[in-house]
Amino acid sequence: MAETDQAAPPTDQLATMDLSETSLNHAFSDRVLIRSIVGRLDGGAGLAGKRVRAGGWVKTGREQGKGTFAFLELNDGTCPANLQVIVDAGVAVLNKLVATGTCVVVDGILKVPPEGTKQRIELRVEKVVHIGEVDPAKYPIPKTKLTLEFLRDHLHLRSRTNTIAAIARIRNALAFATHSFFQEHHFLYVHTPIITTSDCEGAGEMFQVTTLINEAEKLEKELKENPPPSQGDVDAAKQLASEKGEVVKQLKAAKASKEDINASVAELKKRQGEAFKAGGEI
């Protein structure tokens, strides 16, 4: 019984709902959010007769009455439902509005549609403020059903589809609930890179707060940064040092200048040092 009482529709809230113009205005835009119209308990019917400015993307559009007017299903991302918009041919060029993906901003009057239609409210356009046209032949998100694999190739537009938009709303609700819970219980939200290094897909350092790293871990890190030479490197260093030694002998035998001999000796010592570091013996 208790669950039934909680699930009852809040009719008292509907009766006291403010239907004034100020209740529709958004704090940061002159547009009225579609959610504030169609998301009401009465489906927006109580707002009939009010002038509003709405905007969004055309989900679907079609010309009717032999091109005398057009129906648009407009969505601005604030809710899953669309707002039906009716535009007369005398207000704007209809073929610029009906393509899926077109961005429009319109001024008009909210009216109750005729009986028998599924919409509870529709917008009769008086003025088209803005049109962002698209090429129907190139727009990659058509009205047909699309696979998730296809949407991965169009990440910047996939949020306009019902599936991705629904997932985004669910994630938003979960993240908000999680943060609200911890805030209400006086937890502090901290970005972990503030107190430790960031591990990006395993390419960084292990997540840890302590700075007490043992010697074994230090040695392992040094070996990764400076790996030991291969046997081929050792053999190549020995061969180079041996060749430089023969050059010095030939210079002395030929009674070369002191400068040439000193330069060759310095080069020999350098190669011997490299061979020694490589782990070989000269």
| 72 φ/ψ angles, rounded to the nearest 5 degrees | -125, 140
Domain membership flag for residue 143: no
Q: Which range is least confidently modeled, 7-21, 51-65, 165-179?
A: 7-21
Q: Quick one: tokens of 210?
A: 């302590």
CATH number at residue 38: 2.40.50.140
Segment 57-70 shows an average pLDDT of 92
- If we measure between CA atoms, which residue out of 86, 90, 36, 89 comes closest to residue 61? 86
Burial of 237 (0-12, 13-18, 19+ CB in 10 A): buried
Contact 132, 101 (CB under 8 A): no
Domain membership flag for residue 140: no
For 248, the domain range is 231-277
- If we measure between CA atoms, which residue out of 194, 217, 222, 190 comes closest to residue 206? 217
CA distances from 125 to 17, 23, 69, 172 (A): 26, 21, 10, 33
Which residue type occupies 43? G
For the chain, give the mean pLDDT. Answer: 78
Ranked by mean pLDDT, the top range of 120-124, 226-230, 263-267 is 120-124
Burial of 121 (0-12, 13-18, 19+ CB in 10 A): buried
Q: Quick: pLDDT tens for 5-32.
A: 444 444 444 444 444 444 577 788 889 9
- 128/237 same-domain check: no
Domain membership flag for residue 184: no
- 124/237 same-domain check: no
Q: Which residue has the higher pLDDT, 210 or 97?
A: 97
Answer with the one of 76, 105, 132 that is the final residue of a domain. 132
pLDDT score, position 71: 95
Domain membership flag for residue 243: yes
Distance of CA 262 to the CA centre of its chain: 64
Query: Is the model's pLDDT at 252 over the cut of 60?
Result: no
| Percent of the chain predicted with pLDDT > 70 | 63
Query: Is the model's pLDDT at 36 over the cut of 60?
Result: yes
118 Cβ contact list (under 8 Å, min separation 6): none
Answer with the one of 101, 132, 163 that is the final residue of a domain. 132
Instruction: Please give the tally of structural domains in the chain.
Output: 2
pTM of the predicted protein model = 0.59
Which DSSP state fits 235?
H
Q: Which residue has the higher pLDDT, 105 or 18?
A: 105
Radius of gyration of the chain (CA): 37
Domain membership flag for residue 137: no
pLDDT score, position 115: 86
Q: Beta strands of 25-148 (E only): which ranges?
A: 25-26, 29-32, 51-64, 69-75, 83-88, 103-111, 122-132
Answer with the one of 132, 161, 192 that is the final residue of a domain. 132
Distance CA 204, CA 199 (A): 4
Q: With cut-offs at 50, 70 and 90, classify the pLDDT of residue 225.
A: confident
